[in-house]
Every structure is written in structure tokens, then in C-alpha cells.
Amino acid sequence: EPKRKDTAAREIPIKDLKAAGIKLPQEVGPSRPPTQDVQKALADSVISHSSMPAISGKEPLLQPKWVFSTGGPVGWRSHPVMSSGELSIYLGSADFNLYKVALNSGEEQWRYNTGAPVLASPVVKDDSVYVANADGILSRLRADSGEVLWQRDLESGVVSTPLLIGDRIVVATKTGRICCLELKSGQGVWAFDSGAPVVSSPSHFSKELFFGTREKSVFCLDMKTGHKKWKAFVDGAVVSTPAVSVDSLYVGTQDGAFYALDVESGQPLWDYYADKSIISSPVISFTSVMFTSLDKWLYCCEKYDGRLKWKAALKGRVQADLTTVDKYLIAVTREGWMQSFEMTTGNMQWQKNFGTRLESTPLFLRDGLLVATIEGKLTYYAFGNELLSKSA
């Protein structure tokens, strides 16, 4: 196979996102106080980290081992995925392709042209990998060869990562149709029409499925039948995946509102308002829930009453979903920074400027991490002693 040329770097994949029918997040939001008395909380108990501590943080020792170049941007909801049974990485790109790359060398093992931009991550189970493209084609491929086992046309584009639940796969489409299919055959089990665009992945907890829409609503479906259990309205479009615990659901909106909803009824439990859009998915840790806003702050609230515990300054705007490593939370920004924060206090542990726009959630492994960029490059960095000591 001829060697592929590196494509020219692109600042942002606006053209690809628009071609896929995605309305880009608006970087504006209301500046309103939350329902609780934040000023008192700030005075009494909130740990607020200014930009000064962020600047003084140590840069981790990361040693680049290899770089793999795709032919297009990697962003929106696409990020590298590793299979559990083999040392390989799967990555979707806006160049239409799904790639399988060897972890130890960065060499391409195979690629599959899906026929449209891939703006979400693949999912892997057993010996199969599942990928959906922006034209709404869902494909099951052999993990070892990339051979197509089955394909289904979902009749509307997909820009969110499919969800695996047992022997089923759930996919949300841009027109708001939620499709549940059998993993082995690809046959439909049920479908639900929400009537509103969905650009983020559903969440699953117990016997329910949860997702948000761009028309200011959150749904709960019965996982077995696809029947609606409740629908809640929120202040702003939802473009991120809800986080769910045993009794509550947490979700942010493009109007800067962050909600806790009762999982049984959808009734609001509390809300908190940031100054700009929330487009990254939240993270739950014990009794805390953490989220970011385009106002360049990382927030931590008590998950039961919404009380602000701490907030930490970010070096840019976060679009990629947050990830956790042990007791640390990792955020990457459009401005090219990766930062690690201690989840209990908000103290920044380390930060690194990658010098390029980051919209893809990094993948942390035992001995290193994988970072995909808007230029379409996937880089594997080995950990140095500095980062290992912080992550231990």
C-alpha cells in the first residue's frame, strides 16, 4: 500500500462539522447567579484557584515515541480507543477513515473508508469494532482485518459515539432518532424518535437510557423497550453526555446552566449557572460532580445540593470530555493545554502546552498516553518520572 502523505494542518474542522450538519456551539451564555448563595460559599468554604497557581504548575515529562498521521481533523467526539485483548488503537478521522494502529510502533494495521466523516469514536467488543459516520452508516467490522460484517443505514447522520449495553448497541442520530440494534446481526430491536437533534451519546444506568437534545430537553427511556419514561426541559441546548448516578442525573447546556435531575422523575434537584456554554460531559467522583465551561473555569459542586466546593482556572476552553486518572481529573483545551487537577481540592498538579488545538479526549495507558489533534495526528507519549509520580 502506498505511503500516505501528511495533510496540511488545519486550525479547526469547521467545514467538516458543517458538512455533517452540526451547529457549532455558541461561545456565549447568560451571566446569572446559581440558585444557591455563591458569594457566601466563596467567602466561607470555596477553594478558588486563580490563574497564578496554574502558571506555576510543573510540566510533566512526556517522551514522544511515535506519530501517526490521518488525512483529516480528529475532533468533536472522536478520540482514540484501545481494545482490551490486543495492543492496538482505533481512531476515526474526518477524512472518512477508521484506522487501526499498532500501539508499540504507530504503524497502520488497516484502515476502513466509511464513506463520510467520522466525528465520533468507535466502540470495540470481543473481535468486532463498530463505527458510525456522519451520513448515518453504522458498520460492524472484524477487528483483526477491518472486513465488513454488516452495515445498517440509520437514515440520519451520527456524530456521537455509540453505546454498548450487553448484546445491544444504541446509536443517536442528528434528527433525534435513538436506535437500538443487536450486536451480532445488526437487526433493529427498537427505535425512538425524540423529535429534536441529538449530537451527544446517551448514558445508561440500571434499566434506563438518558440523553439530551439540542431543543432544551432531556429524555429517559426504558432500555428494554425504548418507551419514554419522562422528558424534562432545561435552559439551553444539550450537546454533551449526561453523567448518571444511582439517584441523580447531571447535565450542562449551551446557555451555561448545569442541572441535577431526579432519575426517577426528571424533576430538577438543583441548578448552577456558569458564564458561558457547557459542551463537555461532567464527571462524578464520590459526592462531587465536576464540569467545565467555555468561561475557562473547572467547577466542582456537591452533587446532592449543588454547593460550590471549589473552582479552578483553565488555560483555555474545553470541548473534549474530561477524563480521570486515579484521583486526578484531566482537561484539554482548544488552546492546546492539558492540565491535571486533584479532584478533592482542585489543586493543579501539572500542565503541558502541546502547541496545537485539542478537541479530542486523551487516552491514558499504564506507561503513556495518546493525544489526537485537530491536524489529524495521533501521538504516543511515554511517561517520564515526573508524571508517573503524580499519577501513582
334-353 pLDDT, tens digit per residue, is 999 999 999 999 999 999 99
pLDDT interval class at 385 (50, 70, 90): low
- In this predicted model, what pLDDT tens digit does every residue of 234-277 receive, in sequence order? 999 999 999 999 999 999 999 999 999 999 999 999 999 999 99
- In this predicted model, what pLDDT tens digit does every residue of 256-267 receive, in sequence order? 999 999 999 999
> In the predicted model, is pLDDT for residue 49 greater than 80?
no
Domain ranges of the chain: 38-73+283-392
- In this predicted model, what pLDDT tens digit does every residue of 180-226 receive, in sequence order? 999 999 999 999 999 999 999 999 999 999 999 999 999 999 999 99
Mean pLDDT, range 156-181, rounded to an integer? 97
Burial 206-234 (b: 16+ CB within 10 A, else e): eebbbbbbbebbbbbbebeebeebbebeb
Calculate the average pLDDT of the chain: 87
Q: Which residues contact 272 (CB under 8 A, 6 or more apart)?
A: 34, 35, 36, 257, 258, 299, 301, 306, 308
CATH architecture of 38-73+283-392: Beta Barrel (2.40)
